[in-house]
Amino acid sequence: MSISRRDLLRLAASTAASRLGQAQESRKVGYCMVGLGRISMQHFMPACRTTRQSRVTALVSGHRDKAERMAAEYGIPRENIYSYENYDAIATNQDIDAVYVALPNSMHAEYTIRAAKAGKHVLCEKPMATSVADAQAMVDACRAANRKLMIAYRCQLEQTNLHAIDLIRSGKLGKVEAIQSAYGFNIGRNEWRCNSKLAGGGPLMDVGIYSLNACRYLTGEEPAELHGYASVIDQDGRFKEVEENLAWTMKFPSGVVASCDTAYGADMPGYYRVHGSKGVLHVDAAFGYEGQILTAHVQGQPVVSEPNPAKDPSHFVLEADHFAECVLRNMTPKTPGEEGLRDMQLMERIYQSCGRKLA
């Protein structure tokens, strides 16, 4: 009796599946990666090696070779590799509790809705979608299927940002009066993010969204009014479809005003400054994967200075485990679909005020 290579692989896969089965008992949520790009391969998957409640159990990719390499690296059975065509078959795979959607923005809606229909929970990267209608459809589909939906707003789980929120809520800064925030970078050539059909919009959708979201979680309010200016300078042909720079202001119901800025045409390190009636809070590198630096000057108090929190746990560990916990304990995620939908609605209004629109 001869054993073929195929048989050997099947055997290996079934052994792996059995291992996965055991782990399931220790209540780890099995994630299927939807899209094998930088954020999945370099951030989410490595992070899952150190999570308490999460593991990567399946992959969806259009590149079989890459998927097989990653599967081997993470001990994922070959049966758990899907293409975009047979993606709906995840429905019958018990190794998969949830999907992590890390595709170009325009594909988020389709692959979220298909996952919900397949009975899987969805952790979806930001921006949630490329239109308000798509974002609403995602919320509706997950609700109809009784599946959890979380948008991957890392910063709302990250310790420095949480400390900033605590400082504000404690009243130490007095009444918040004004916020400034910016985030941008000089984008490379031939990025899908400069294709309006794939990205929906430019830097506002991709990185400006961090400042927008921060102004909302720092104040705990929704902006009542917003207005922006977008510009395209385009020295080198990168900005035929999306905006290059966008500055906008917002006014919140309590009277807080915010001025924000984003760009694909220049490096613009992420930060925010919160000006209260009793003190000023400054967070540098506010939105990066690590290296947040918090400084607070409060009247009559020693300066609070917290540079560079420990790199571990990574934001991706926090995010994977938070959603896993929501799935396991039937809790609402801290940043559910509705949170992403709200940002989409606000970004649509910012674009409208600029005389632009979502793709």
Smallest distance, a copy of itself to C-beta of residue 227, A = 5
| Annotated catalytic residue within 120, 126, 148, 351 | 126
| Annotated catalytic residue within 210, 264, 271, 272 | 210
Binding mask 183-222 for a copy of itself (x = CB under 8 A): -x-x------------------------------------
Q: Does 225 bind a copy of itself (CB under 8 A)?
A: yes
Q: Does 258 bind a copy of itself (CB under 8 A)?
A: yes
Closest CA to 76 of 36, 32, 131, 112: 32
Among the listed residues 227, 288, 289, 293, the single contact to a copy of itself using CB under 8 A: 227
Q: Does 272 bind a copy of itself (CB under 8 A)?
A: no
Q: Does 170 bind a copy of itself (CB under 8 A)?
A: no
Among the listed residues 30, 77, 208, 228, the single contact to a copy of itself using CB under 8 A: 228
Strands 293-298, 304-306: pairing kind: antiparallel
Smallest distance, a copy of itself to C-beta of residue 198, A = 23
Smallest distance, a copy of itself to C-beta of residue 166, A = 19
Q: Is 82 assigned a catalytic role?
A: no
Binding mask 124-163 for a copy of itself (x = CB under 8 A): ----------------------------------------
Smallest distance, a copy of itself to C-beta of residue 196, A = 18
Q: Does 267 bind a copy of itself (CB under 8 A)?
A: yes
Are residues 202 and 242 in contact, defined by beta-carbon separation less than 8 angstroms? yes
Provide DSSP, 235-297.
SSSS-SSS-SEEEEEEE-TTS-EEEEEEESEEEEEEEEEEEESSEEEEEETTTSSS--EEEEE
Size of the residue set binding a copy of itself (CB under 8 A): 46
Q: Does 9 bind a copy of itself (CB under 8 A)?
A: no
**Rounded alpha-carbon distances, angstroms, from residue 224 to 107, 220, 322, 326, 342:** 30, 13, 30, 31, 12
Determine the Cα–Cα distance for residues 284 and 182; give it in Å rounded to an integer.
Answer: 10
Q: Does 103 bind a copy of itself (CB under 8 A)?
A: no
**What would the two tokens of residue 312 be?**
């571990």
Cis peptide before 46 (omega within 30 of 0): no
Q: Is 272 assigned a catalytic role?
A: no
Are residues 58 and 80 in contact, defined by beta-carbon separation less than 8 angstroms? yes
Amino acid at 180: Q
**Rounded alpha-carbon distances, angstroms, from residue 76 to 114, 122, 196, 282, 307:** 22, 20, 34, 43, 38
Determine the Cα–Cα distance for residues 259 and 250; give it in Å rounded to an integer.
Answer: 7
Of residues 65 and 267, the one with the C-beta less far from a copy of itself: 267
Q: Does 241 bind a copy of itself (CB under 8 A)?
A: no
Determine the Cα–Cα distance for residues 223 and 226; give it in Å rounded to an integer.
Answer: 7
Among the listed residues 99, 182, 324, 347, the single contact to a copy of itself using CB under 8 A: 182
Determine the Cα–Cα distance for residues 67 and 312; give it in Å rounded to an integer.
Answer: 27
> 222 phi and psi, to 5 degrees?
-100, 135
Catalytic site positions: 126, 210
| Chain residues in the site for a copy of itself (CB under 8 A) | 174-175, 177-178, 180, 182, 184, 186, 225, 227-233, 235, 244-251, 254-261, 263, 265-269, 273, 275-277, 279-280, 297
